Amino acid sequence: MKPHDTWKVLPHGDLEKLADNLYTVVGKLRMPLAETSRRMTIVRLAGDRLAIYSAIALDEPRMAELEALGRPTFLIVPSAIHRIDAGPWKARYPDLEVIAPEGAVEKIGEVVPIDATQENLGDARVQVFAVPGTKARELAMTVITETGKTLVLNDLIFNMPAYDGIVRFGLKLLGFGPGHPHMPKLVKMKLVADDAQVRDQLRAWAADGYERILVAHGAPIENPRETLLELAAA
């Protein structure tokens, strides 16, 4: 999808509080075969600062809610595909520090100036890092909350709903296999450079005891260990 030049609000839901320092918003995108979801994750950092992962332009009432949580400080653009609203966010908040994966700086840099490819956010509970085996083309994030640990991924894993009829057939033909967590063939071709490294990372995450996984497209994964081990085995 072409990146937006201005603050363009597409359909989206409310801010959902997952923990005292973790919020999420799910938006909608119209694709050729079907409508798909996209997710923004907001992390409250020490010092009343916010880290915005995979930004979505929200309507003004929701932006007011977001700003009440803290000051937008970091804009994490997790991949070249998820740059749609990066430019308008930087224009709205000029002091934002933009973080992008090293393997996607050229593409993301077309729409927004990049400040860093790795960054210490100044909060021991939050880490941002390139996913091993992707040639640093995707950034992931881990967040420690009062109830456990959350893993935030972008396109590495999809968890789209089960569609019916021709939409289901078309998506399955393209390798998106909706109805369960999966790694779409088309995304894998663009993202994964080393199968073994990605497989090892999936297994390492499975051993880390995550409470949930937030993915860009689809519902949160509430059984992380089993899902990650299944994906690694596949």
pLDDT tens string 136-172: 999 999 999 999 999 999 999 999 876 666 556 556 6
How far apart CA 231 and CA 234 sit, in angstroms, is 5
CB 71 within 8 A of CB 50: yes
The model's pTM? 0.92
16-233 belongs to CATH 3.60.15.10 = yes
pLDDT tens string 6-22: 999 999 999 999 999 99
Q: What pLDDT does 76 receive?
A: 98
Q: How far is CA 160 from CA 45, 60, 77, 177, in A?
A: 30, 28, 21, 8
**Average pLDDT, integer, range 213-231:** 95
Domain boundaries, the chain: 16-233
Q: Tokens for 30?
A: 């119209």
**Average pLDDT, integer, range 62-73:** 98
In this structure, what is the dihedral angle of CA atoms 118, 15, 154, 19, given to the nearest 10 degrees?
Answer: 70
